[in-house]
Structure 1
Amino acid sequence: MFNFFNSVPSISTQELEAKLGSKPIIFDVRTQSEYQAGHIFQAKHLSSNQINQFNKKQMEPVYVICQSGMRSKQAVKKLRVQGVDAINIRGGMNQWTGSVKRGK
């Protein structure tokens, strides 16, 4: 009934930044306006509707970020149910200290 103890795989923003050279797949699940205000250069915008319809099997992990880590945690749960190796970014963009891209 309650999923208090179901942990979601996660990494810190610093760990993600260290992986950027290997060009990981990053999904940003914030609103379109939040995304356009500033996002990680390699991140692709993925709305909550797209998460529910996402059925592409990935051979490599996908990293999911939002503003604080809460929406991305929920998105990771949904993606993992669909068989995607999804990993949450703890702290989200609030903790991101790397460069950001503005706009689309």
Structure 2
Amino acid sequence: MFGLFKSVPSISTKELESLLSTQKITLLDVRSPGEYRGGHIQKANNVPLNKITTYKGKNTEPVYVICQSGMRSKNAAKQLKKMGYNVINVRGGMSQWTGKTRGGK
């Protein structure tokens, strides 16, 4: 029974910000391409939630997942975990992010 509900670890946007400043990490933004263009974290790759199962990255290092509020990224993290990735969800998503963003008009 417990195997079904392995929880995905998560970090805050502040923790993410300090990670980004100290090391190279894999960060996936699972929002729509339009939302991503509206403003995203510089090192984030856009892999919309509906395409997350096509993601092909190294599964030797952690994959951080972010969306707007944390719901889609949690869903994406569960799918990536099933695919064998070591996934960390970013709680609060872009709505909590206070660091620099790129994109937008």
Q: Give the TM-score of the pair, scaled to structure 2.
A: 0.87
Deviates more, 1:86-95 or 1:3-12: 3-12
Q: 1:10 to 1:52 in 2, by over 3 A?
A: same
CA distance in 2, matches of 1:4, 1:90: 21
CA distance in 1, matches of 2:43, 2:85: 19
Q: 1:8 is matched with which residue?
A: 8
Query: SS in structure 1 opposite 2:59?
Result: coil
Matches within 5 A, 1:15-34: 15-21=15-21, 22-34=23-35
Q: 1:91 to 1:4 in 2, by over 3 A?
A: farther
Q: 1:56 to 1:99 in 2, by over 3 A?
A: closer
CA distance in 2, matches of 1:57, 1:24: 11
How large is the Cα RMSD of the aligned pairs?
1.9
Give unmatched runs, 5+ long, in structure 2. none
* TM-superposed deviation, 1:6: 4.3
CA distance in 2, matches of 1:4, 1:81: 10
Matches within 5 A, 1:83-98: 83-98=84-99
Give unmatched runs, 5+ long, in structure 1. none
Q: Give the TM-score of the pair, scaled to structure 1.
A: 0.88
Write the deviation string for residues 26-53 of structure 1: whole angstroms up to 9, x where unpaired.
0000001100000000000002243112
CA distance in 2, matches of 1:29, 1:65: 6
Establish whether residue 38 from structure 1 lines up as the match of residue 77 from structure 2.
no
Deviates more, 1:48-57 or 1:8-17: 48-57
Establish whether residue 64 from structure 1 lines up as the match of residue 65 from structure 2.
yes
